[in-house]
Each structure stands twice: as structure tokens, then as C-alpha cells.
Chain A
Amino acid sequence: MPDISRDEVSHLADLARIDLSEEELDHLAPQLSVILESIASISEVAADDVPPTSHALPLTNVFREDVARPGLTAEQALAGAPAVDQQRFMVPRILGEEA
């Protein structure tokens, strides 16, 4: 199970929205197989009745009074944007031609 093929790495990179070049796939795929092998042992460790832990300390939902607090100005929020137009984030097209 832990062995991961070059095609699988390519598929996962696609899911993670990273364009990997052919050279990068050649470089990373074998490394990822080794990493997965080294962590695969874990699947045998815990019995079914062990509860999972998501956080080290128990979490409880935290509420605050519903009062307005100062936030970023539009100018501050847009200050790091790659492109801005009319006080908005300017982004590439979202839909494809065929959509």
C-alpha cells in the first residue's frame, strides 16, 4: 500500500494545485515513496477502541460578545494583493470557455 507511483504523485499534485514538471516528478516521486514507507508502520499501532485526538488539550467552543471591533481597512486588506481594481481583488478568469 505505501508504494506511490509517479502517476499517483502527479494526480496528488494536481489535487493540491501544483504544476509539477517532469523533472520534479522524477525527483520527488521516489522520495515520497520512501517517506510513505517510513510512516506506514502506523496503520497497525492503535486498536479500534482507542479514541482519536485532534488537539492536545480538550477544545471547547469559544464565544465573545457580538460587538463590532475595528478591522482592516479596505486599503490595508488590498495592500498585498497581486492586482487590484476598483477597491477589489482582481483575479484571472474563473470559468473556462466551455463552461
Chain B
Amino acid sequence: MSDLTRRTAAELADALAAGETTSVEVTQASLDRIAEVDSAVHAFLHVDADGALAAARAADQRRASGTAASALDGVPVAVKDVLATEGLPTTCGSRILEGWVPPYDATVVARLRAAGLPILGKTNMDEFAMGSSTEHSAYGPTHNPWDLGRIPGGSGGGSAAAVAAFEAPLAVGTDTGGSIRQPGAVTGTVGVKPTYGGVSRYGLVALANSLDQAGPVTRTVLDAALLHEVIGGHDPRDSTSIDRPLPALVEAARQGATGDVKGLRVGVVKELTGEGYQAGVQQRFDEAVRLLVDAGAEVVEVSCPTFVHALATYYLILPAEASSNLAKFDAMRYGLRVLPEGVEAPSAEEVMRATRDRGFGDEVKRRIIIGTYALSSGYYDAYYGQAQKVRTLVSRDFAAAFEQADVLLSPTAPTTAFKLGEKLDDPVAMYLNDLATIPANLAGVPGISVPSGLADEDGLPTGVQVLAPALADDRVYRVGAALETLLTDRWGGPLLDRAPALEGASA
């Protein structure tokens, strides 16, 4: 295994700045690692070796002439296949977009390119980001590098597995109900959902516009902050983009890494612990909280009573928005077109019906139908209207909790990674994975998941989630980095060092 693939993005950036390595070497090391292990992991839907190496050569030239485009110039990155990439296929894990090559870049992608990060390829995901296991990808599931028979979380299982398997030092994900944070928890990696509007949604194929947010997927908190500063900030092309500067995220991560949390008020959300959480997940969480207390933090229990309704609220709002969004897949302007069998001179509508039946998978169909139901007259007030009201109550719960605490803590996901196939035909059991992550999306607040250890019962990674008030993304980095330092010191090294080697693994 190449040593370069084990290094953090921050270390690679330093080595590149010091001239100790080149972007071509680093990028080639990632590409070699992908070639070595991705047949077993299947984190990538598309690998762009030529494009990545060309970008790496350009980065090396800039470094050589002292004109680095950013701190991360030359550090390669993987991008979730839901972000439009000019010249690179973008499928969203769906047959309906198989082979589609966007004619433009998402703002996130444009910023990665402008900052000099070679794009290794596009990562696997649940179809249109609907799922918590990456099993709903039309192109086959991604496997958890910790146990190839288990799910890597979802929807961004590809991005999380790519960094967990050392195929990429950095990746970008999107989080609508936990799709960055929950894969982070079950793969022993770091994931951040920024404040809603903190990262541009331009060119992000929308699942639920009012909830979607792109963010960093990395192995360390500092790496996440470095990447967040590249992709975040105001974008005039996204009307929901926040028009003010990002907080100093890298600085916050460095400050937090000292492990000093004296005076910090930590709220443990009563409704997001205990029943429904696997024993080993709860144990690691309780230990993480104790570590913060030992380091000088003050812990209070806070109650957010409407959080128990957040899951139901989400599974009304999301399908409603998704069913409207996916109406654009009409077989006319791009994507798949299927002609219905046995129909002579079919109409546009008949072609559309046949195409959507063939092009969408089960979970997408389920959610489109639920969304259509929730938005239909007669049910609108009882369901969608009510869900929007409960959303207000969830935000009020957050506001009250943040009067008592600077940050809120909970386990990121209720369980460790489950076996592939286990919950595929039990949608409600699948939805429960997002129990703890969904409230942040409903209220738009930022959250991070950092590894909290391995569960005793199965030896699989667990995660702890830190939530902060809207716009206070720096707080999740500060507390996330503190937790990372305190836990890593205790473990005597990063959690991922304990993941099994993947060489010789078979799919």
C-alpha cells in the first residue's frame, strides 16, 4: 500500500507545499488504490484517471511556480454522483440518467476545480439520494470497508467508503436527512452537514430543496474544515445561499484539536438516546460525553419533545418535494427514453410513463407515490400542512435547547452497519437509521459526525454527532476536533488504523 494514501489531506497539503511530493504522485497513489480495492468496495461509479492526472500536473506546475490556487491545491477529491460535473457522467445512482454527461459544473465542483483539487471520479449513492444504505443504487451497492458484507450507510455510502478505504483523502457528499453524517458514523469517518445555505446547491440534482446540503466527507475534522472552506460561501446562482462570509472553520478545528473545552456547555438530547439505540452505540456515546466532562465541559440534559415526530415529518416533506423535483425526468430533454411495448405511435405521456417505470427503482417509486399522495387535495392539510407546522416546532425545540447549551450531542446513527440486504424490503426499518440526523435538516442547523469507537458487540464503528445553531458551523468543528483529539489519544491512534486490510479482498 502506498504510504501517501494513508495521509490526511492536511498532511498532503503540507507535503505538497514543502515540495516533498507532487500532486501527480498523490493522485496516482489514489488511482492505484482505487484499482486495487474498488472491485471489492465499489465506492466509485466512474473514475476519471486522465482528468485527475491532468489536473494534478497543472497543480504541480502552480506549486512549482509559487502560485498555488489554494491550501489544498493538488490534493485529490472524490465527488458524489449527485453533483453535476461537466464532461463527467452524472447518474445520481439512477438508470434514468445512465450515461448523462452534464454540460456544466455544479458550483461546488467549479470551486474544487478552481482550488486545484484533481477530481478522481464520482461516488456511488442511493438512487437520487433516497436511502440509508447505498443499496438503492441502480448500479449495485457499495460495501463497508470494515466488513464487506455490510452497508456503508447512505445515501452517500460511496463517498464515505472511498475515504474509509483510503481511495481518496477527501470526498464531497450531500446530506438531506443524514446522508453525510450517518455513512460517516458507520464507516469510522468524519462527515459535516453545513448550515442550510452554507454551501451552494447550484448544480446539485435536487432531492428535497428545502433540506439538501452538500458538505465534506473526510477522515479528520481538520480535513473537513479545509474542504468546507473551499466549497462553501455565498453563490449568487443559488437563491437560498447565505450571503455572508463563512466562519473561520479551519481555525476552529485547530483550536478544538488542543482538546480544551473548558466552559463549553454541552447538551445531551434526551429524545436522541436510550431506547432504539444499540447498546454499543450508546456506550461509546456515553464515554465520549464523559471525556468532554473530564476535559472541562459542562453537560446538561436537554429535552426536545417534538424530535420524536421529526422522522414522520421528514418522510412527508421529503417525498412531497422529491415527487415534484423528479417530475422533470420526462424522457424529453435528457436521460432515458423508453418506448412502451406493443403501442404503435405512442404519445409523449405514454413514453414518459414507460420511461419512469423502467428508469426509477423501487424506493424512488415509493417516495414519488407517497409524495403525490401527501400533496393531493383532501390530504394536503392533514399531511404536508401538518408536517410544515411540526417543522416549526422542531426549530423551536432547537432554539430552546441552544439557550441551555452551546452545542447538542447525540449518537449519529442508532446502530452500527447492518448486513447488506437486511432492510431492503422494509422501508420503515430503513428510515429509522436517520432518527438522530433528521432534526438538523428540518431546522437547517449544522452538524458533524466523528468516530466514537467500536461497538463491543460487533466491533463496528460508531459515531457521535455534534449540532450547533444555524451559522455557527465553527462550533461543530471546534467541538468535533476536541472530541477527535480526546478519543484518538485514548485509542492511541486513529480509529481507521483498526479497520481490516483490504488487499486481496474479493467482491
Contacts and interface: CB of A to CB of B under 8 A. Distances in A.
Contacts of B390: 42, 45-46
A38 B428 contact: yes
A29 B195 CA distance: 37
A19 B351 CA distance: 10
Contacts of B362: 27-28
Nearest to B210: A55
Interface in B232-268: 236, 239-240, 242
A21 to B, nearest CB: 7
A16 B368 contact: yes
Contacts of B369: 9, 12-13, 16, 18, 28, 32
Interface in B320-347: 323, 327, 330-337, 340, 345-347
B57 interface: no
Interface in B73-113: 100-104
B436 to A, nearest CB: 17
B312 interface: yes
Contact of B103 (A1, A45, A76): A76
B103 A81 contact: no
Interface in A23-82: 24, 27-28, 31-32, 34-36, 38-43, 45-46, 50-57, 59, 61-62, 64, 72, 76-77, 79-82
Contacts of B327: 16-17
Interface residues of B, number: 76
Contact of A46 (B240, B389, B445): B389
Contacts of A82: 331-332, 334-337
B387 A42 contact: yes
A80 B362 CA distance: 25
A80 B335 contact: yes
Contacts of A12: 369, 372-373, 376
Interface string B346-370: 1111111110110010100110111
Contacts of B39: none
Given A15-B372, A19-B353, A53 B395 contact: yes
A80 B331 CA distance: 11
Contact of B389 (A28, A34, A51, A95): A51
B348 A93 contact: yes
Contacts of A93: 345, 347-348
Interface size range of chain A in the complex: 35 or more
Contact of A79 (B103, B197, B428, B470): B103
B392 A52 contact: yes
Contacts of A53: 388-389, 391-392, 395
Contacts of A51: 389, 392
Q: Is the interface of A mostly helix, strand, loop or mixed?
A: loop
A32 to B, nearest CB: 6
B442 interface: yes
Interface stretch (B165-173, B272-280, B378-386): B378-386
Contact of A17 (B196, B352, B442): B352
Contacts of A32: 366, 369-370, 373
B101 A56 contact: no
B393 A50 contact: yes
A34 B331 CA distance: 31
A45 B101 contact: no
Given A35-B428, A46-B386, A46-B389, A94 B444 contact: no
B309 A41 contact: yes
Interface string A78-94: 01111100000101111
Given A16-B323, A17-B349, A56-B470, A35 B382 contact: no
A83 B428 contact: no
Contacts of B347: 92-96
Q: Which of B313, B385, B391 has the most CB of A within 10 A?
A: B391
A18 to B, nearest CB: 5
A14 to B, nearest CB: 8
A50 B394 CA distance: 11
Q: Which of B348, B366, B389 has the most CB of A within 10 A?
A: B389
Nearest to A64: B236
Contact of A42 (B197, B316, B431): B316
28 contacts: A9-B369, A12-B373, A17-B330, A18-B368, A18-B369, A19-B354, A24-B357, A28-B365, A32-B373, A35-B366, A35-B428, A36-B370, A36-B373, A38-B315, A38-B428, A39-B316, A42-B313, A42-B386, A42-B390, A52-B385, A52-B389, A53-B392, A57-B196, A79-B103, A80-B334, A92-B351, A93-B345, A94-B348
Interface of B: 100-104, 195-197, 210-211, 236, 239-240, 242, 306, 309, 311-313, 315-316, 323, 327, 330-337, 340, 345-354, 356-357, 360, 362, 365-366, 368-370, 372-373, 376, 382-383, 385-393, 395, 425, 427-428, 431, 441-445, 470
The 3 closest A-B pairs by CB, nearest first: A56-B444, A52-B388, A80-B334
Interface of A: 1, 4, 8-9, 12-13, 15-21, 24, 27-28, 31-32, 34-36, 38-43, 45-46, 50-57, 59, 61-62, 64, 72, 76-77, 79-83, 89, 91-96
Given A45-B386, A45-B390, A55-B240, 14 more contacts: A1-B382, A16-B327, A18-B365, A31-B427, A36-B373, A42-B390, A43-B382, A52-B388, A56-B210, A56-B442, A64-B236, A81-B334, A82-B336, A94-B347
